[in-house]
């Protein structure tokens, strides 16, 4: 930063050339960057000046792209001229200030010499006044020999130097006025209207529909071309969305009515999940309520699955899409049943959290995607509670034999999860926080074992479905993070995905869903707060390695630097080993080429990940006598007497949801074990177990509880803190 002199004495008129030359660096670079930006767009336009198609329409379109490229060149030149003008003025200002500062330095030096000589002369005159006769020595000092060279000459010479410096500064002041006026004239940009007013085909940068009209191109044809390119980059996606908003509401409905696939199925986008979601989020925020409603009505499949759109709006779109699709009589009975089951699952009962259909992907109904197997014709996710309003979100990822038809069973697991998380929040004083449990069947899961024999590409022992599902889950997580993030809208062409990880998101995965989650955590651009794995069917070898090396999974770390990955299993679960045991057995007894037939990639239990922390799945009793069951099966829910991992009031569900809510310190807290000592008739201690049959109103009787406490050396401080669990 330039610091100009504030005191210009002995010169008059002040600073002749004020300003900070260094401040112009940013202005010079600003216009230079604008020129480079336009050059980049020009190159993109040139790429389209040779369209691989025939006909006059496309010839005119090529011409428009060529006009646009030419226009971009002219605009770039104007920006370049502005940059050059700013740079020229900066250099002239630096030169003028250098000369002015030198003149000031000389004037101040002359003034100092003049003042010194004047003080000496005044002293000599005072001394001479005391003498009765003239002192020749004083006269020489004042006037010099032969009338020159004394102090009076020094004073006069200094005054001459000051006047010379004043002339230099005055000349610079005039130069500054002339050059600044010239710089202003050179800095003025030509108007864009002035540049393109004589373009043969009009303004190539006006609204796309206006350009299309001027070319005689059918609007629908142009929009379909933009739609096909939307999957190439976030910029292409933005171009398509902006073209849609150029339409009136009636035109919008007409376009999608003529393009039913675009209305029914998700819009394909590029792999930059976060940047795409940010583009959509900013676009959606700029639309008014009426136009949003028109889009939901006209294109529910697109709006209901497009990351960046609020989940309340996506729910409206997906319910409308579901209703329309259920009315399609051409669907087979199995697909119709899946849709009916989804509809039933989407209706909340009294006192339950509201349910939202946050995605509904019907892409497998396309003829090109048919595989003669209707099991996964419909992919969907259902949220218990609002994703838009939730302070904490848990995504539940199920495993084998779960499709949208089993959504109602998954809802049971989701409600148990939701209620357990509410208890956790209450026990930690966070009951004012909102939560949502998102049941995600957004990928194709392996079917039942007997069905897999008919479809070798759907084996639970392979990771191919998990790998495909992992990419979808990663995109869903990135979209959720970007949509919920508090990061302000940006006009930058690139965004930093890491800054969109501020929402609190956890993943709770079960069985083959843990395999899918492992793949997703390698691929997502944003992070989740934690991952909870139930009854893992094995995490792929590459996912384990990714967790153990470098930055690890896309999961936040605790204060000790560990990735917040938690898992549990059950000794009574004989199903989960079927996912990872074949790889283990094959690696032990078969050569490499043969074992790859059985398992494309080996899978390992979560304990092989160095940061993964295990929590218990056995039963326990809280300090106030609440009894929590153990896990007796591989199922996510199970039933009374055969409880699964998300069954209500199990130790596993309690610990898992404490971890999911960010209270992982509770995993170190204990329960009383369900046993106690009692003396027999001989006075000998006999161990007795506490079972569900001993409970009274859901609790261990007080007298039995006293025996439990007396029999176990457990400090109250080591016990988990549980409050009232009613409601």
Q: Residue 251 class from Cβ within 10 Å (0-12 exposed, 13-18 middle, 19+ buried)?
A: middle
* Three-class secondary structure of residue 494 per DSSP: coil
Could you tell me if 582 and 462 are in contact, meaning their C-beta atoms sit under 8 angstroms apart? Answer: no
Q: Which of the four pLDDT bands, split at 50, 70 and 90, describes residue 57? A: very low
The yes-or-no verdict on residue 291 having pLDDT over 50 is: yes
Question: In this prediction, what percent of the chain has a pLDDT beyond 70?
Answer: 84
The three-point CA angle 448-450-453 to 5° equals: 110
Over range 416-425, report the average pLDDT. Answer: 97
Over range 670-696, report the average pLDDT. Answer: 90
pLDDT at 200: 46
Over range 694-703, report the average pLDDT. Answer: 90
pLDDT at 66: 53
pLDDT at 600: 57
**How far is Cα 337 from Cα 396, in angstroms, rounded to an integer?**
23
Residue 493 main-chain phi, psi, to 5 deg: -75, -20
**How far is Cα 25 from Cα 3, in angstroms, rounded to an integer?**
16
Residue 545 main-chain phi, psi, to 5 deg: -60, -40
pLDDT at 480: 98
225 against 58, higher pLDDT: 225
- DSSP secondary structure letters along 90-124: HHHHHHHHHHHHHHHHHHHHHHHHHHHHHHHHHHH
pLDDT at 6: 86
Q: Parse the chain into domains and list their residue ranges.
A: 21-195, 218-309, 335-664, 666-718
The yes-or-no verdict on residue 37 having pLDDT over 80 is: no
Over range 191-199, report the average pLDDT. Answer: 49
The CATH topology of domain 21-195 is: Substrate Binding Domain Of Dnak; Chain:A; Domain 2 (1.20.1270)
Cα atoms in the 13 Å half-sphere on the side-chain side of 83 = 17
pLDDT at 53: 44
Please state, rounded to an integer, the average pLDDT across all residues of the chain.
85
* Peptide linkage before 316 cis (omega within 30 of 0): no
Most confidently modeled of 21-30, 190-199, 354-363?
Answer: 354-363
pLDDT at 264: 96
State the greatest distance between any 2 C-alpha atoms of the chain, in Å, as a whole number: 144
Least confident of 50-64, 85-99, 167-181, 217-231: 50-64
Question: In this prediction, what percent of the chain has a pLDDT beyond 90?
Answer: 57
The yes-or-no verdict on residue 536 having pLDDT over 70 is: yes
Q: Which pairing describes strands 565-568 and 613-614: parallel, antiparallel, or unpaired?
A: parallel
354 Cβ neighbours under 8 A, 6+ residues apart? 348, 384, 385, 386
Q: Which of the four pLDDT bands, split at 50, 70 and 90, describes residue 217? A: very low
pTM comes to: 0.71
The yes-or-no verdict on residue 561 having pLDDT over 90 is: yes
pLDDT at 56: 43
Q: Which residue(s) pair with 534 in the sheet?
A: 510, 568
**How far is Cα 448 from Cα 458, in angstroms, rounded to an integer?**
10
The yes-or-no verdict on residue 218 having pLDDT over 80 is: no
Least confident of 30-44, 156-170, 551-565: 30-44
Instruction: Name all contacts of 180-189 with Cβ < 8 Å and 24+ positions apart.
Output: 180/89, 183/85, 183/86, 183/88, 183/89, 183/92, 186/81, 186/85, 186/88, 186/89, 187/82, 187/85, 187/86, 187/89, 189/78, 189/79, 189/81, 189/82
436 against 132, higher pLDDT: 436
CATH 3.40.50.1820 fits 335-664, yes or no: yes
Q: How far is CA 454 from CA 373, 461, 577, in A?
A: 10, 14, 22
**How far is Cα 370 from Cα 331, in angstroms, rounded to an integer?**
12
Could you tell me if 456 and 252 are in contact, meaning their C-beta atoms sit under 8 angstroms apart? Answer: no
312 against 693, higher pLDDT: 312
Q: Which of the four pLDDT bands, split at 50, 70 and 90, describes residue 304? A: very high
Over range 355-384, report the average pLDDT. Answer: 88
* Three-class secondary structure of residue 391 per DSSP: coil
pLDDT at 2: 58
**How far is Cα 439 from Cα 406, in angstroms, rounded to an integer?**
11
The yes-or-no verdict on residue 705 having pLDDT over 60 is: yes
pLDDT at 33: 79
**How far is Cα 527 from Cα 521, in angstroms, rounded to an integer?**
8
The yes-or-no verdict on residue 31 having pLDDT over 90 is: no
Least confident of 144-153, 514-523, 698-707: 144-153
Q: Which of 278-296 are b and which e, b meaning 16 or more Cβ less than 10 Å from the residue's Cβ?
A: bbbbebbeebeeebbebbb
pLDDT at 202: 47
Q: Which of the four pLDDT bands, split at 50, 70 and 90, describes residue 478? A: very high
27 against 6, higher pLDDT: 6
**How far is Cα 32 from Cα 179, in angstroms, rounded to an integer?**
22
Residue 433 belongs to what H/E stretch? none
Over range 420-442, report the average pLDDT. Answer: 97
Could you tell me if 395 and 445 are in contact, meaning their C-beta atoms sit under 8 angstroms apart? Answer: no
Over range 266-292, report the average pLDDT. Answer: 95
**How far is Cα 546 from Cα 568, in angstroms, rounded to an integer?**
20
């Amino acid at each position: 930063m330039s610091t100009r002199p504030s005191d210009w004495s002995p010169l008059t008129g002040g600073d002749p050339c004020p300003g900070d030359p260094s401040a112009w660096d940013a202005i010079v670079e600003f216009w230079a960057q604008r020129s480079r930006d336009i050059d980049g767009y020009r190159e993109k336009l040139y790429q389209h000046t040779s369209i691989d198609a025939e006909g006059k329409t496309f010839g005119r379109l090529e011409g428009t792209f060529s006009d646009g490229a030419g226009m971009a060149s002219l605009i770039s030149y104007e920006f370049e001229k502005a940059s050059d003008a700013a740079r020229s003025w900066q250099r002239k200002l630096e030169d003028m200030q250098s000369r002015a500062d030198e003149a000031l330095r000389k004037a101040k030096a002359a003034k100092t010499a003049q003042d010194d000589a004047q003080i000496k002369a005044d002293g000599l005159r005072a001394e001479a006044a005391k003498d009765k006769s003239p002192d020749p020595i004083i006269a020489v000092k004042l006037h010099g020999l032969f009338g020159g060279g004394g102090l009076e000459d020094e004073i006069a010479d200094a005054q001459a130097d000051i006047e010379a410096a004043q002339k230099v500064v005055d000349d610079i002041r005039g130069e500054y006025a002339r050059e600044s006026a010239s710089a202003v004239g050179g800095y003025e940009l030509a108007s864009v209207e002035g540049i393109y007013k004589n373009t043969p085909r009009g303004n190539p940068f006006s609204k796309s529909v206006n350009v299309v009209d001027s070319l005689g191109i059918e609007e629908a044809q142009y929009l379909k071309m933009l739609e096909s390119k939307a999957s190439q980059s976030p910029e292409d996606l933005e171009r398509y969305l902006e073209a849609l908003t150029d339409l009136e509401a009636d035109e919008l409905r007409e376009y999608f009515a003529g393009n039913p696939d675009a209305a029914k199925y998700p819009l394909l986008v590029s792999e930059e999940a976060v940047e795409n979601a940010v583009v959509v989020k900013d676009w959606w925020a700029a639309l008014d309520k009426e136009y949003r409603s028109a889009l939901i009505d006209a294109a529910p499949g697109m709006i209901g699955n497009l990351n960046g759109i609020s989940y309340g709006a996506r729910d409206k779109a997906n319910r409308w899409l579901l209703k329309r699709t259920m009315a399609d009589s051409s669907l087979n009975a199995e697909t119709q049943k899946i849709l009916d089951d989804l509809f039933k699952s989407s209706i909340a009962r009294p006192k339950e959290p509201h349910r939202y259909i946050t995605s509904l992907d019907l892409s497998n109904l396309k003829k090109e995607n048919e595989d003669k197997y209707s099991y996964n014709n419909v992919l969907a996710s259902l949220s218990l509670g609002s994703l838009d309003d939730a302070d904490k979100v848990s995504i539940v990822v199920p495993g084998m034999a779960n499709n949208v038809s089993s959504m109602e069973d998954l809802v049971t697991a989701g409600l148990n999860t939701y209620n357990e998380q509410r208890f956790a929040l209450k026990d930690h004083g966070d009951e004012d926080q909102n939560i949502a449990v998102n049941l995600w069947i957004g990928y194709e899961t392996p079917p039942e074992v007997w069905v897999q024999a008919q479809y070798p590409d759907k084996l639970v022992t392979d990771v191919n479905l998990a790998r495909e599902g992992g990419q979808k889950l990663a995109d869903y997580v990135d979209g959720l993070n970007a949509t919920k993030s508090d990061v302000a809208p940006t006009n930058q062409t690139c965004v930093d995905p890491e800054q969109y990880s501020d929402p609190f998101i956890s993943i709770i995965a079960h069985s083959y869903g843990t395999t899918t989650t492992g793949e997703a955590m390698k691929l997502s651009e944003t992070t989740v707060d934690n991952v909870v794995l139930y009854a893992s069917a094995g995490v792929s070898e590459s996912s384990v390695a990714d967790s153990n090396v470098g930055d690890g999974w896309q999961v936040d770390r605790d204060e000790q630097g560990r990735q917040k990955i938690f898992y549990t299993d059950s000794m009574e679960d004989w199903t989960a080993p079927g996912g990872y045991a074949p790889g283990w057995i094959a690696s032990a007894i078969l050569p490499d080429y043969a074992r790859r037939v059985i398992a494309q990639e080996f899978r390992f239990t979560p304990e092989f990940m160095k940061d993964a922390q295990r929590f218990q799945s056995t039963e326990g009793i809280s300090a106030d006598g609440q009894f929590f069951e153990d896990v007796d099966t591989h199922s996510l829910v199970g039933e009374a007497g055969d409880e699964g991992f998300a069954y209500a009031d199990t130790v596993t569900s309690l610990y898992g949801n404490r971890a999911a809510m960010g209270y992982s310190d509770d995993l170190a807290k204990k329960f009383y074990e369900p046993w106690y000592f009692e003396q027999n008739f001989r006075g000998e201690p006999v161990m007795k177990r506490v079972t569900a049959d001993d409970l009274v109103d859901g609790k261990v009787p007080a007298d039995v509880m006293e025996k439990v406490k007396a029999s176990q050396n457990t400090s109250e401080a080591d016990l988990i803190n549980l409050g009232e669990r009613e409601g």
